[in-house]
Amino acid sequence: MCGLVGFVGGDWASGAGGAEALLRRMAGCIAHRGPDGTGAWADPDHRVGFGHNRLAIIDLSPAGDQPMQSASGRYVIAYNGEVYNHEQLRHRLHEEGRSVNWRGHSDTETLLAGIEAWGIRATLERAIGMFAFALWDRQTKQLTLARDRLGEKPLFYGWQGTGEERAFLFGSELKAIAAHPAFQPEIDREALTLYMRHAYVPAPYSIYRGIRKLPAGALLTLGSAAQDPAIEHYWSGAEVANKGSLAPRLGGTQDYVDQLDHLLSDAVRQQMISDVPLGAFLSGGVDSSTIVSLMQAQSSRPVRTFSIGFHEEAYNEAQHAKAVARHLGTDHIELYVTAHEAMSVVPQLPRVYDEPFADSSQIPTMLVSKLAKEHVTVALSGDAGDELFAGYNRYKMTAAFWRKMSRIPRPLRSGLARGMGSLSPATWDKIASVMAPVLPDSLKMRVPGDKIIKAAGVLPSRSPDELYRTLVSTWQDPGSLVVGGSEPAGASAGLSDLTGLGDIERMMAADMLTYLPDDILVKVDRAAMSVSLETRVPFLDHRVVEFAWSMPMDLKLQGGQSKWALRQLLYRYVPKELIERPKMGFGVPIDSWLRGPLKGWAEDLLDEGRLRREGYFRPEPIRRSWAAHQSGRANFQHQLWAVLMFQSWLEEAPHQSSAGASFSAYRSGETGELRSHAIARASRA
């Protein structure tokens, strides 16, 4: 796991110390991604250079240092990630008579040897792993950027500057790109509009105009003539979903569970290979418990597991994680944090996430990453189980809701929505608590009032797709909120390719293609890498993904129970009674914080005069939501958190004046430190 940066073109004649010094300065902005070594390589004749920070995981010797040249000298690579089957690839090269005089045992060297033997695309199709890399071909004078199939590792790119200073920039994080003198920090209002709908900036957009995210499973090539880059996909999640939905049923239920056990166990085995200490996040839920069970089953000593606990019962899963850990015999470490300790993370978020990002579970994710880093350098996680095995309650609820509501004329539904919205979430919570003793478990939920109010907002939907889009949107009409903003045409490109899927399958596929890489994986990558911790996601082994999509839907949802086949696998290792309970999110009580200890901080960022001066948001809907939230008439925590995360990011991002001056403050964190002190004082009040 590492961080990379680079550029093609630009003014190579200016700047202190030349191109390599600039590359090292850019790489220094993301030193947290690789504190074990920094390297730079430049080719002045073709005006191309790579910078690299190394987090040494496999082959800790200098033989694994980067940027690295291939054995023949044709290729140079800066690489972030892990190819888990690289030993098998080395064996295959040997069998084909393409033996290499290996300098070490790093997967980087294996990747380069494969590219020399088979070519770039063929090597990626053989590779099992997570990665992003930049590759320079000295023979063809061509730059290639690549990203793994599901988008675990980030990669930004784009042309910046004009005239002789125009340069093609790329890197693992925006802050490294922003350190280049050609960078022009202009906020993209279309991307901002998308952010206000999703609470993240979806690929291929970034918050900055002219800078893009390379899509998952994609290859970008840029020739020496400096034309616009060409992008092609070597793997498509949409194609996998479509093909899987047409797969014939093969064998009985037990056959599918056996095959899932085999594939996932192999994925876990490969991802446990490490030359540094390794552990796993454990929440006690189905997904993380499955991964830890398979780890412990293949380990000769207790696996280290980590969980964060909260004193607020509604947000605490630590006791469930502890029970699973005790049963499996792991070396379990838990940390209970106070509200003050959790809120102390808030000032760090703009610097860690680098662009506006408003999934509030980023806070506990940062806390558990910090805890794990005190003991290990690599941690496996259970992410992606929900998207692959229909784990989110919203899937079945949306499908069932649509079947029933579509029978009701739309005008009548609109009237019903107005009636449901007339009661506050708190009132609905009281009604639900009174009804709880007679409700079946399938209808019980945490914070029912919020969900009922959200249901009122989706009643007027015209289709299941529109219903789901509305349900998962943060702001329903973000174009009316952002000054000069609109959602770009084709922003949901790829989702229209999901032909022949059922309603629930379409929701799952949409989440796999968007929410998973742009929210879940971003959240974990930035949080973990901020403390130099590598995370691995066994569910995203592409063999597991492809098999999951070939499974019949009734093995994912059966008898109203989600992730049915995955649960049957887990019960081979963990008793059912330790797992079966209502699903909890990995969250924090943002709603009450905004009415209490964070109120002053938020009020400052949401000040009407400030919003007007900055010119990004129309203040009226924000102020109305703020007032309603403060009164308790509604819970607008998610909408307000999205605005607050943008406002907080805006204070520190390199765009307010000159890029150089503001970026200096951005890196130093002075603004964040002042903000941190203010939040700390407020949280103690």
- For residue 211, the enclosing domain spans 2-235
Q: Which helix (H) or strand (E) holds 118?
A: helix 107-118
- Give the pLDDT confidence of 108-120 residue by residue, as tens digits: 999 999 999 999 9
pLDDT grade, residue 670 (50/70/90)? very low
CATH number of the domain within which 89 lies: 3.60.20.10
- 175 and 140 assigned to the same domain: yes
Domain end marker among 476, 505, 534: 505
More confident residue, 494 or 518: 518
- Give the pLDDT confidence of 30-81 residue by residue, as tens digits: 999 999 999 999 999 999 999 999 999 998 999 999 999 999 999 999 999 9
First to last CA, the chain: 41
Q: Which helix (H) or strand (E) holds 304?
A: strand 304-310
Examine residue 267 and state whether it is found in any structural domain, yes or no.
yes
Task: Kindly state the DSSP code that residue 8 receives in the 8-state scheme.
Answer: E
pLDDT grade, residue 14 (50/70/90)? low
Number of domains, the chain: 4
Q: DSSP secondary structure string, 408-460?
A: S-HHHHHHHHHHHTTS-HHHHHHHHHHHGGGS-GGG--SSHHHHHHHHHHHTT
Please give the Cα distance from 62 to 463 (Å, whole number).
57
Examine residue 398 and state whether it is found in any structural domain, yes or no.
yes
Please give the Cα distance from 405 to 396 (Å, whole number).
14
Q: Which two tokens stand for residue 296?
A: 């412990």
Domain end marker among 477, 505, 533: 505
Question: Among 131-135, 302-306, 417-421, where is mean pLDDT lowest?
Answer: 417-421
Please give the Cα distance from 332 to 644 (Å, whole number).
35
According to DSSP, the residues that pair with 304 across neighbouring strands are: 279, 331
Q: For the sheet with 2-9, list strands across it.
A: 38-43, 48-54, 2-9, 167-171, 156-160, 212-213
**Torsion (CA) 611, 612, 618, 623 in degrees, nearest 10:** 50
- 530 and 599 assigned to the same domain: no
CA-nearest of 503, 591, 624, 519 to 194 is 519
- 521 and 421 assigned to the same domain: no
According to DSSP, the residues that pair with 648 across neighbouring strands are: none
User: For tokens 């009604």, what's the residue?
Assistant: 431
Q: Which residues contact 542 (CB under 8 A, 6 or more apart)?
A: 128, 149, 150, 235
pLDDT grade, residue 16 (50/70/90)? low
According to DSSP, the residues that pair with 75 across neighbouring strands are: 137
Q: What percent of the chain has pLDDT over 90?
A: 74
- Pick from 189-203, 387-401, 662-676 the range whose average pLDDT is largest: 189-203
pLDDT value, residue 426: 74
- Give the pLDDT confidence of 302-336 residue by residue, as tens digits: 999 999 998 777 777 899 999 999 999 999 999 99
- 285 and 218 assigned to the same domain: no
pLDDT value, residue 389: 97
- 363 and 284 assigned to the same domain: yes
SS3 call for 494: coil
The amino acid present at 135, given as its one-letter code, is: L
pLDDT value, residue 446: 61
User: For tokens 């959790």, what's the residue?
Assistant: 342
More confident residue, 617 or 453: 617
Average pLDDT over residues 251-262: 96
Q: Is a pLDDT exceeding 50 seen at residue 610?
A: yes
CA-nearest of 66, 182, 179, 201 to 132 is 66
Contact 539, 382 (CB under 8 A): yes
Q: Give the ranges where 329-409 is alpha helix by DSSP (H).
A: 339-343, 349-353, 362-373, 385-389, 393-405
- 450 and 385 assigned to the same domain: no
- 397 and 330 assigned to the same domain: no
Contact 40, 92 (CB under 8 A): no
Q: Give the ranges where 511-607 is alpha helix by DSSP (H).
A: 521-529, 542-550, 564-570, 590-595, 599-605
- Give the pLDDT confidence of 82-96 residue by residue, as tens digits: 999 999 999 999 999
Please give the Cα distance from 112 to 108 (Å, whole number).
6
pLDDT grade, residue 674 (50/70/90)? very low
- Give the pLDDT confidence of 260-286 residue by residue, as tens digits: 999 999 999 999 999 999 999 999 999
pLDDT value, residue 678: 45
Question: Among 76-90, 157-171, 328-342, 463-477, where is mean pLDDT lowest?
Answer: 463-477
**Torsion (CA) 292, 578, 310, 638 in degrees, nearest 10:** 80
Average pLDDT over residues 173-183: 96
Domain end marker among 475, 505, 535: 505
Q: Model's pTM, two decimal places? A: 0.90
- 452 and 530 assigned to the same domain: no
pLDDT value, residue 522: 98
Q: Is a pLDDT exceeding 70 seen at residue 659?
A: no
For the chain, the average pLDDT equals 90
- 252 and 230 assigned to the same domain: no
Question: Among 75-79, 133-137, 242-246, where is mean pLDDT lowest?
Answer: 242-246
- 287 and 372 assigned to the same domain: yes
Examine residue 584 and state whether it is found in any structural domain, yes or no.
no
pLDDT value, residue 87: 96
Q: Which residues contact 644 (CB under 8 A, 6 or more apart)?
A: 358, 602, 605, 606
- Give the pLDDT confidence of 626-656 residue by residue, as tens digits: 999 999 888 999 999 999 999 999 998 865 4
pLDDT value, residue 656: 44
pLDDT grade, residue 447 (50/70/90)? low
Examine residue 510 and state whether it is found in any structural domain, yes or no.
no
Average pLDDT over residues 413-435: 79
- Give the pLDDT confidence of 554-589 residue by residue, as tens digits: 999 998 899 999 999 999 999 999 998 766 666 789
Contact 608, 593 (CB under 8 A): no
More confident residue, 682 or 408: 408
- 207 and 295 assigned to the same domain: no
Q: What percent of the chain has pLDDT over 70?
A: 91
SS3 call for 673: helix
Contact 27, 21 (CB under 8 A): no
Examine residue 479 and state whether it is found in any structural domain, yes or no.
yes
Please give the Cα distance from 457 to 459 (Å, whole number).
6
By residue count, the chain amounts to 685
Judge residue 425's burial from the number of C-beta atoms within 10 Å of its C-beta, 0-12 exposed, 13-18 middle, 19 or more buried: buried
Examine residue 336 and state whether it is found in any structural domain, yes or no.
yes
Residue 671 has, within 13 A of its CA and on its CB side, a CA count of 17
Q: Is a pLDDT exceeding 60 seen at residue 666?
A: no
Helices (H) and strands (E) in the chain, counts: 30, 17
- 556 and 612 assigned to the same domain: no
- Cβ count near 142 (within 10 Å): 15
pLDDT grade, residue 664 (50/70/90)? very low
- Pick from 213-227, 310-324, 493-507, 522-536 the range whose average pLDDT is largest: 522-536
pLDDT value, residue 177: 97
pLDDT grade, residue 625 (50/70/90)? very high
Q: Is a pLDDT exceeding 60 seen at residue 679?
A: no
Contact 350, 316 (CB under 8 A): no
pLDDT grade, residue 15 (50/70/90)? low
CA-nearest of 521, 496, 519, 507 to 557 is 507
Average pLDDT over residues 282-294: 97
Examine residue 442 and state whether it is found in any structural domain, yes or no.
yes
Please give the Cα distance from 159 to 155 (Å, whole number).
14
Examine residue 585 and state whether it is found in any structural domain, yes or no.
no
pLDDT value, residue 235: 98
CA-nearest of 367, 351, 279 to 316 is 367
Q: Is a pLDDT exceeding 70 seen at residue 685?
A: no
CATH number of the domain within which 369 lies: 3.40.50.620
